[in-house]
Amino acid sequence: MPSSAQDLALTLPHYLVVSGMIFGIGIAVALSKRNAIAVLMGIELMLNAVNLAFLAFSRFGSSFGIASEGNPAAPLAGHVFVVFILTVAAAEAAVALAMAVLVYRRRETVDLDRINLMRW
Amino acid sequence: MGGAVVLNRLPLPAQLDRTVTTGGLLAGAIVTPPLIALIVLRVLGNISSAQMVWWMLAGVIVAGALGAVTLRNVVHSALALIAAAMGLAGMFLLLASEFLALVQVLVYGGGVAILLMFGLMLTNATEDPVVIDGSQKPFAAGVGLILGVALTAAMLSANWDASISTVVDFRDLGARLYRDFGVPFEVASLVLLVALVGAVAISRRDNDDDNDAEAAS
């Protein structure tokens, strides 16, 4: 069945579906793993999903009332947010891994079920 | 298992041991049919080239993310995560933002990959028990499934009136970042500096602390 040009274009939901799936998988990783570093990997996956959603809205978002005639660069707000999220993600990864190494040095494990010093 | 027998008799180089060859053939067997299907659909005109690339990238991303969940070896799981991040870089390219695709490759393919590998190496992840999934795994799978399905359904059912797409000029992004977001940019640089110095400070081997810990134990 030949499709029209409108059907063949990539639209906003294409990217948002991938973003939603990655976010769900990321939260499953973060909740199910026992290794602290694997939990960190799940958080990175969720941040990536958010980045994709930001970029998709930034590209297709000119009809959301963000852009105007006098401010043509306004849609780039999504890109700027992605830059900041990447910065924070890198900082978070560095600090979290340093903490994991420190915990391992003290307690000989990064198993989150066995790091229960503050358990009630 | 006939394939394994054939592989044993092949005059393969020593580096290509059986595991690598079998894994590669398996991956090729899994990947090839969807690729052929996509190319056939493209030739028939049912999908556009951009959609073909989107399907490939979505497959890489979702497969990498699922690998991060399901693989039992945490090093393999980290490699699957890097594959998903690289697929996302490709999707950024599809969204016509080359700069952020480059940054994604640099930060995730370079920085985070090395950090994760160093973290796994320094914490001896391979010596820990093979079971890396906690007893809360069914609950986690349920939460992930519900959240993923809810997000996807909401995004599909919403009426996005967004047919206008804008392509980003590299120069505009720089102007926007430094002109309109100058103060947050400086704050972000400070956050990065503090985080890196803090990471070095807390992971530095402190002799006094070590002596205390040894005396206490």
Is A48 part of a structural domain of the chain? yes
Q: Locate B199 and state its tokens.
A: 């990471």
Is A16 part of a structural domain of the chain? yes
Residues near A106 by Cβ (< 8 Å), separated by ≥ 6? B213
Enter the pTM of the model: 0.83
Is B86 part of a structural domain of the chain? no
Residue type, A31: L
Nearest to A44 among B81, B152, B188 (CB): B81
Is B122 part of a structural domain of the chain? no
The reported pLDDT for the residue numbered B174 is 84
Nearest to A14 among B54, B78, B119 (CB): B54
Average pLDDT, chain A: 81
Which tens digit of pLDDT belongs to each residue from B94-145? 888 888 999 999 999 888 999 898 888 888 766 655 556 667 888 888 999 9
Is B127 part of a structural domain of the chain? no
CATH of residue A19's domain is 1.10.287.3510
Beta strand residue intervals within chain B, DSSP E: none
Interface test with B, best of A8, A51, A55, A99 (most B CBs within 10 A): A55
Asked if the Cβ–Cβ distance from B128 to A17 is below 8 Å, we say no
Q: Alpha-carbon distance A87 to B192, whole Å?
A: 7
Shortest distance between the Cα of B125 and any Cα of chain A, in A, equals 8
Is B10 part of a structural domain of the chain? no
pLDDT band at residue B42, thresholds of 50, 70 and 90? confident
Is A119 part of a structural domain of the chain? no
Among all residues of chain A, which has the CA nearest to that of B86? Answer: A48
Give the distance from CA A98 to its chain's centroid: 21
Domain count, chain B: 1
Interface test with A, best of B160, B167, B217 (most A CBs within 10 A): B160
Output the CA torsion sign for B1, B16, B118, A85: negative
Among all residues of chain B, which has the CA nearest to that of A10? Answer: B51
- Contact indicator for A45, B84 with CB cutoff of 8 Å: yes
Is A112 part of a structural domain of the chain? no
Domain count, chain A: 1
Give the distance from CA B169 to its chain's centroid: 27
Q: Is the confidence at residue B165, as pLDDT, over 80?
A: no
Is B188 part of a structural domain of the chain? yes
Between the alpha carbon of residue A12 and those of residues A76, B95, B152, B165, the distances in Å are 16, 10, 12, 9
Is B182 part of a structural domain of the chain? yes
Q: What are phi and psi of B72, to 5 degrees?
A: -85, -35
Q: Is the confidence at residue A2, as pLDDT, over 50?
A: no
Interface test with B, best of A63, A101, A104, A112 (most B CBs within 10 A): A101
Asked if the Cβ–Cβ distance from B168 to A76 is below 8 Å, we say yes
Is B176 part of a structural domain of the chain? yes
Q: Locate B137 and state its tokens.
A: 């795994």
Domain range for B195: 168-206
Residues of A in contact with B160 (CB under 8 A): 11-13, 60
Q: Is the confidence at residue B214, as pLDDT, over 60?
A: no
Between the alpha carbon of residue B116 and those of residues A23, B32, B129, the distances in Å are 20, 30, 19
Q: Give the count of Cβ contacts less than 8 A between chain A and B.
A: 281
Between the alpha carbon of residue B44 and those of residues A36, B31, B37, B173, B210, the distances in Å are 48, 20, 11, 38, 68
What does DSSP assign to residue A62? G
Which tens digit of pLDDT belongs to each residue from A8-56? 777 888 889 999 999 999 999 999 888 888 899 999 999 999 999 988 8
pLDDT band at residue B82, thresholds of 50, 70 and 90? very high
Domain range for A103: 9-107
Is A86 part of a structural domain of the chain? yes
Is B195 part of a structural domain of the chain? yes
The reported pLDDT for the residue numbered B9 is 65
- How large is the ipTM? 0.85
Is A118 part of a structural domain of the chain? no
Tokens 């959301």 identify what position? A64
Between the alpha carbon of residue B65 and those of residues A34, A77, B78, the distances in Å are 17, 27, 10
